[in-house]
């Protein structure tokens, strides 16, 4: 059980780090698009704008429950 708990904690930490990396990459991509003079070259289609990952509902934010019974 302790091994599983350690693995779950490790996985949560890895997901958190990767989410931060994705967020940073999207922001790094979007910032030049929205600053002068880049935005003056003609509006790029919205499809080219990077989107941040967002969960759709509070239920998706809930941690999975593990039961040993």
CA distance 24 to 21: 5
Per the structure block, which two tokens stand in for 18?
């990767």
Task: Say what the pLDDT of residue 14 is.
Answer: 93
Indicate if the pLDDT at residue 13 is higher than 60. yes
Task: Say what the pLDDT of residue 17 is.
Answer: 92
Per the structure block, which two tokens stand in for 59?
């239920």
3-state secondary structure of 50: coil
CA distance 11 to 59: 19
């Amino acid at each position: 059980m302790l091994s599983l708990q350690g693995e779950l904690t490790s996985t949560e930490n890895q997901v958190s780090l990767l989410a931060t990396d994705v967020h940073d990459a999207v922001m790094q991509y979007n910032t030049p698009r929205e600053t002068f003079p880049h935005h003056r070259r003609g509006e790029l289609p919205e499809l080219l704008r990077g989107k941040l990952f967002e969960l759709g509902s509070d239920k998706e934010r809930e941690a999975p429950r593990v039961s040993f019974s």
